[in-house]
Amino acid sequence: MDVDTEMQSATAQGTEESKENEWVRINSNDGFSYLVRRKVAQTSGTMANMLDPNGGYAEAQTKICTVDERGIVTEKLVEYMCFKSHYQTVGPKEDIPVQEMQERIPPEIVLEVLLAADYHEM
């Protein structure tokens, strides 16, 4: 019996980890599509909720999030999510190139990105 629970908990953990490494799809409203790890997608609070199988959302089944923004804006969101998820886990001794990330936001779309970032809780 003990071994069973152990195995169950181990599987549960494995499932969780493997789930984290699953690919999920993020679509823009003008036909662009981005594949990211679930872990990355969960940088956004909204997306994490959408993809959560325990939530009542259809996206949890399809593993596809649709962002109501143009492709260029969506791409910037994905870029930021990758940036953040990577540097979130880095040690305290390392420098985080925040300025670089900031420079990668062109002023022409900054207001749209701002609006989207606010909506997606990132």
Question: Is residue 117 part of the contact set for other proteins (CB under 8 A)?
Answer: yes
One residue of 28, 34, 42, 78 binding other proteins per CB under 8 A = 42
Question: Is residue 115 part of the contact set for other proteins (CB under 8 A)?
Answer: yes
Segment interacting with other proteins, rule: CB under 8 A, options 3-11, 29-37, 62-70, 79-87: 79-87
Question: Is residue 113 part of the contact set for other proteins (CB under 8 A)?
Answer: yes
Minimum Å gap between C-beta 118 and other proteins is 6
Minimum Å gap between C-beta 39 and other proteins is 8
Segment interacting with other proteins, rule: CB under 8 A, options 2-10, 21-29, 64-72, 91-99: 91-99
Question: Minimal CA–CA distance to 77: which of 66, 87, 88?
Answer: 66
Question: Is residue 3 part of the contact set for other proteins (CB under 8 A)?
Answer: no
Residue 116 CA to residue 66 CA, distance in Å, equals 12
According to DSSP, residue 69 is labeled: S
Please enumerate in sequence order all residues whose Cβ is within 8 A of that of 76, keeping only pairs 6 or more positions apart, or say none.
104, 105, 109, 113
Phi-psi region of 28 (alpha: psi -120 to 50; beta: other; left: phi over 0): beta
